[in-house]
Structure formats: C-alpha cells, structure tokens
Amino acid sequence: MRPEILFPLFKPVTALKGVGPRLGKLIEKLAGGRLVDLCWHLPTGLIDRRFRPSVADAPDGAVVTLTVTVDEHHVPGNRRLPYKVLCSDHSGTVNLVFFNAKEDYLHQILPLGAVRVVSGRVGHYGQEIQMPHPDHILMVEKEAELPAVEATYPLTAGLTAKPLHRAIQGALAQTPALPEWQDPVWLTREQWQPWRQALLAAHEPDSPAALEPDHPDRRRLAYDELLANQLALAMIRAANRGRAGRAIVGDGRLRQALRAALPYVLTQGQEQVLGEIQADMGRALRMLRLLQGDVGSGKTVVALLAMLAAVETGAQAAFMVPTEILARQHFETLTALCQGMPIKIQVLTGRSKGRPRQALLSDLAAGRIHILIGTHALFTEDVIFPDLALTVIDEQHRFGVHQRLNLGDKGAAADILVMTATPIPRTLSLTVYGDMDISLLRGKPPGRQAVETRAMPLSRLDEVVAGVQRAVNQGARAFWVCPLVAENEQLDLAAAEERHAVLARILGPGRVGLVHGRMKARDKDQAMQAFVAGETKVLVATTVIEVGVDVPEATIMAVEHAERFGLAQLHQLRGRVGRGSRQSHCLLLYGSPLGETARARIAIMRETEDGFRIAEEDLRLRGTGELLGTRQSGFPAFRLADAMAHQDLMEVARDDAQLILTRDPHLETPRGQALRVLLYLFERDAAVKLLRSG
C-alpha cells in the first residue's frame, strides 16, 4: 500500500482548483494525469523580467518590463483588426496590441492616464514599437508582484503557459515534506537540499544555470529517481537469488534430436550463449538471464534448445511474446522444428476462449503440454503449470519489470531467460538490466548479405512503387511500413488503408495484404499467414510487424516517412529483411525537408547494420535534452534523470542500492522506511511488495 503521506501527490490533476476535464486531458497528455506528474514536469526555460529599458531602448524581440502611461485606446473598425492601446514614457511610445479584445475589460485594466507596469515581448514594425498581449499588466503600487524570473515549461497543442503554470504551482503547493532517504554524508558532500526544497527550487530557476542537468537541485532529483530504480532492481535480484532454484540437467535426447533435424548448424555465438544458459540452468539457483542479440542473430533456436533441456527433465517451459502475431509465428516455427519428437507445443493468447481454452488449460494442468507459447495471457490466474522449470520472455523491451515479476511467481522456482534484440549502450545496461546476468549473442548466421539501404524523398514514391512492382513480378516479397503519425492510431490506420488500396490497384487486389494494430487477431493472423505462404506478395503494415516477425523470403522493406521513426525502430524494421540468401533492400522514404536529426539518423542507417553502433549513435543523437523513455527504445522511462548527463550518478546509485540492501535487507531502519517512501514515490510498488512476500 502506498504510504499516506504520498496520497496528495497521486491525486488526479482535475482535483486542482481551476483544472476541469478539458484542461485535465491536455495536462495528462503533456505530463501525466496526477499531481506527481506535474511535479516531474520541470521547466526548460526562463523569462527574466528584470530587464527594464525605456521604451525607445527596448530591443526588437526582447522580453522587457516597461513603466508607461496609457494615452489612447484605438478601437478597431473591424473585428479582425487588433485593438491597440497607445502608451508612452519619456523616451517614446509603444502600442499594446490585443486580438479579440473585450473593450470594457481593457478600459478596466488600462484606464486612460494611468501609469502601468507591463511586461512582455516587444517587436519593432517600421517606426512602431508593439507589445502584443503583455504577459503582465500591473498597477505601479503592485509592482512587487511581478516575478523577477519566470520558469517556462514544455507545452502541448491547445495548452498555454498560464493555466499550466498555475496547475504546476497548485501541485507544488500540495507536496509534503518527506523523510530523508539519502545517506546524510553523501547529501552533505554533494550539498543537496532536502527533497521538497530541491523540487520547489527546480521549478523556480533563478538563472539559466539552474535549468542545466548538472545543477545541484536537478542532480538531487535525478539521483532520487536513479536510486529508486537501482534499489528496485537490486531487490528483485535479491528476491530471485534468495529463492532456491533447481538444477535442470536433462539427458540431452530432445536436444540431440533437434540438432539432427536442423537444416543448419549453430553458429559459434549460438553455441557460446547456449553453453552459458545451460550451465546456469544446471545450478541449483534461480536463473535470471538476459540474452541480448541483434535482430536476426538466431535467438529463437537457442531458446528452444534451453526449453528442451527443461522438457527432458519432465518439466514444462513457457515462452512469452509481446504480440499475437509473434505467438502464432513461434508456435509454427517451433512445432515444425520439433516435428516427430514426443513433445506437445501449444499456444495461448487473449483470443483463446471458451471450450478450446478450457481443454488447453486442463491439458496443461495434467502435464500433457510441454511448451506453452503465449502473450501475457500466460499470466492469467487459471493458467496452471504443474511443473514450470523455464520461462522464456522474447523481445523483453515490450514488457515492463512488473510482468517479469508476475511471471516469476508462476513457477515458484522457474528459471527465467529474457531475450532482447534492442542493443543497449553499455552505460545504460546498468539501469535497464541491473537485475540480470547477461549473455551476448554475437554475429549472425552465415550466408547473410548486407541489406542495401537507400533513402529517397517521398516525392519519388511512384518510382518506388514501380520498383516494388517489378521486383514482385520477379517473385520478390515486400514489407511496406506505413507512416507513423505521432500519438494518433486512427490516422496511422487511415494511412495504412490508403496505401493498401493504392498498391492493390497497381499490383492486383489479391497480391497485397494489410495488417495493423486495430485488426482482430484472427484477421491479423490470416494476413500474416497469407504473406508467409506467399499468397500475398506485399504486406502493408503499421509497426505491428516491428518485432520479431520472421519471413526469410521477404527481401524488400519500404518505410514511409522514415524520418518519423527512431533509429532503434528503423533498425528493427530493417532487420525483417536480409534473412534469406538473396540480396535485400531497405528503402527509407522521407518527407522533405528533412530535419537535422532525421538526416543524421538516415545517414547512420545507410552506414552500418551493427545494432550496438546504432544504439550508441541513437543515444548520442537524442542527446541530453530528451528523456530516455520512449516505448520504442525500450529504455525505462526516467522523468528526471538524463542518461548522458547523469551517468556518474547511475554508477553511484547502483553501489548505493547494493550497500543499502546489505545493511538493511528488509528496509526496516528509519532510513529504510524512508526508502520505501522513495520507492512508492517513483512507483516501484512491485519491488516493495517483494519485501513482504520474501
């Protein structure tokens, strides 16, 4: 249970005065829906209102504070023209300009002959100096109310500075002082303020330096977040290690049968990681291991061999994947590979319902199913494995830590193998995978040709379509990925449907398939199957195909609006081709003009296929300003910490977490209690629950 002291922070933003449902929605979209989200929404700029030139000296484009006398009101003859209030000081005149103004109101705040302090941005238009919509208009007596410096925040369409500012102030006003969770010696050394003071100060920058990530207040907040992250990971690791595992050493008969049936031999890299995994499974401790290998490196067969080792001992294995498509695909691949072996493989997804589902569950409970593949439906309570020895989680970056935990509870002592194709720069692997042992799968199966990557503007779409048509007529198969329209699934869908229609007209209706996130699972499978079987030659898709899909015959990957995709995602998409022995092509179609970052991304894509290199470049490109936390990248969402700027803190946090758990494994000391609050503050609730159960 979340401690009571944090209750105010987790209220919805609509609990704030002046925040109704409409504003609440906008804030939620921008920062998140609770007060704590507003607290984490830190300013990115500041406006200095201390610059007080005379009117004549106010530079074009600058924010200034002027003291002026109101001389005339110019009511426009036409509603579309602005309302102007002419003011002056000893040096010259300035027009305060208002669009859609209410005359009464303007007379009330700017009465003729009165002296007013106005603050805002000035512009020069020929001889005329204007200040459109001043940010502040004050009577001279109230001048002290003018803030010297004002923070500015990132906004979103439809949300303006003032209401957001007010909401943030409202949220800050409700933040409680919290017990100190940091080590006092460390605090003193870093000269950090208590949490609440640091938070308030971060929202009241008094200079540009206060906006930088290396400012003490920002570092304190970042460190709190990093410590919560590292502590949670360390607790999970401890809980996993603490539970006795079991030694899984099969007799090798199923694995031998599989190896004999494989149309290829394992690469050296595959043998190496398999060796590590089997050795780990063979120990009487619980395995929690990450298998990291680039797209197409051949992780699936490694996972299958590990699962067969478990099955050889008479136990079961579970194989969890993020999408229905992938579940089905793995089911088919694995079933084909294990043909003729005395084992039963089944698939369970959210779509499995009614009688078939019941039948499957009772088969499972009776031990008649040896490998169960599925989506998160595998977590459901009524899914009972009589003896689960190994859980494999594919494409881990699509799941959170929480799921990892839940699944861990399924088989009391089941080993866990997590697989990911998202290469992570070394500096970051700590924060993401601090709780796991890591196996690196290097290299790719032999015979792969480099994918030829080309970039061209969307204006050459017709050429590209003609090229795809030619290739298809010669027997090629192509993925066609449709534009990603930020945050709007509806539009994504429309774009995909439209492209499908166009391509179907040109290539022939039966030859083009469509798959997108809104489709029913059954229809998705059908579209995928038709493409795998070669009935359709082109598969138009939103990014549901991004992860893990394996169609070796596909040799063309066209990505529309490539500039809207992140590097990691482009790399994943390109990884869908170049899997067979034929030359493959990746066509990155971009909308012009191309921004600087997008241009750099595309250049890197053309330069290399090395996932680790791409990941490093990705991090470098996204730079310090951007948060690690986009879903596509697979990094955990940090609100306050910055991967580049706070690297040093990450390492300290890891050591700190270790030390804390050594001294106070159940977080029972006063500092331990405070650390529990920290964990809840950063929503590491699942980790705290381990304390009770463990």
Q: Which residues bind ligand ADP (CB under 6 A)?
A: 264, 266-267, 270, 293, 295-301, 421, 445, 548, 550, 552, 579
Q: Which does 119 bind (CB under 5 to 8 A by kind): Mg ion, ligand ADP, none?
A: none
CB burial of residue 462 (10 Å; 0-12, 13-18, 19+) = exposed
∠ at Cα 151 (150, 152), nearest 5°?
120
Bridge partners (DSSP) listed for residue 74: 84
Q: Which does 301 bind (CB under 5 to 8 A by kind): Mg ion, ligand ADP, none?
A: ligand ADP
Taking the CA atoms of residue 630, residue 636, residue 641 and residue 642 in that order, the dihedral angle to the nearest 10 degrees is: -50
Between 319 and 682, whose beta carbon lies closer to Mg ion?
319
CB of 442 vs ligand ADP, minimal distance in Å: 12
Q: Which does 266 bind (CB under 5 to 8 A by kind): Mg ion, ligand ADP, none?
A: ligand ADP
Piece of 234-242, 377-385, 451-459, 544-552 that binds Mg ion (CB under 5 A): 544-552
Q: How far, in Å, CA of 84 to CA of 135, rounded?
A: 16
∠ at Cα 487 (485, 491), nearest 5°?
45
Between 330 and 671, whose beta carbon lies closer to ligand ADP?
330
Between 301 and 428, whose beta carbon lies closer to ligand ADP?
301
Question: Which residue among 269, 411, 434, 548 contacts Mg ion (CB under 5 A)?
Answer: 548
CB of 425 vs ligand ADP, minimal distance in Å: 19
Q: Which does 105 bind (CB under 5 to 8 A by kind): ligand ADP, Mg ion, none?
A: none
Taking the CA atoms of residue 34, residue 39, residue 41 and residue 45 in that order, the dihedral angle to the nearest 10 degrees is: 150
116 touches 68 (CB < 8 A):
yes
CB of 309 vs ligand ADP, minimal distance in Å: 17
Piece of 114-122, 222-230, 548-556, 630-638 that binds Mg ion (CB under 5 A): 548-556
CB of 613 vs Mg ion, minimal distance in Å: 20
Between 213 and 293, whose beta carbon lies closer to ligand ADP?
293
CB of 559 vs ligand ADP, minimal distance in Å: 18
Between 300 and 633, whose beta carbon lies closer to ligand ADP?
300
CB of 339 vs ligand ADP, minimal distance in Å: 15
CB burial of residue 268 (10 Å; 0-12, 13-18, 19+) = exposed
CB of 550 vs ligand ADP, minimal distance in Å: 4
CB of 299 vs Mg ion, minimal distance in Å: 5
Q: How far, in Å, CA of 249 to CA of 309, rounded?
A: 7
Take residue 145 and report the two structure tokens written for it. 């109310």
Q: Which of 648, 646, 629, 454 is nearest to 559 (CA)?
A: 454
Piece of 123-131, 241-249, 343-351, 547-555 that binds Mg ion (CB under 5 A): 547-555
Q: How far, in Å, CA of 46 to CA of 161, rounded?
A: 12
Between 120 and 296, whose beta carbon lies closer to Mg ion?
296
Between 294 and 656, whose beta carbon lies closer to Mg ion?
294
Applying CB under 5 A, the site for Mg ion has a residue count of 1
Q: Helices (H), strands (E): how many in the chain?
A: 23, 22
Cα distances (Å, whole numbers) of residue 655 to 191, 220, 228, 288, 375: 20, 17, 12, 20, 35
Take residue 502 and report the two structure tokens written for it. 């166009």
Q: Quick one: angle between helices 426-433 and 216-242, nearest 10?
A: 60
Between 170 and 552, whose beta carbon lies closer to ligand ADP?
552
Chain residues binding Mg ion by CB under 5 A are 548
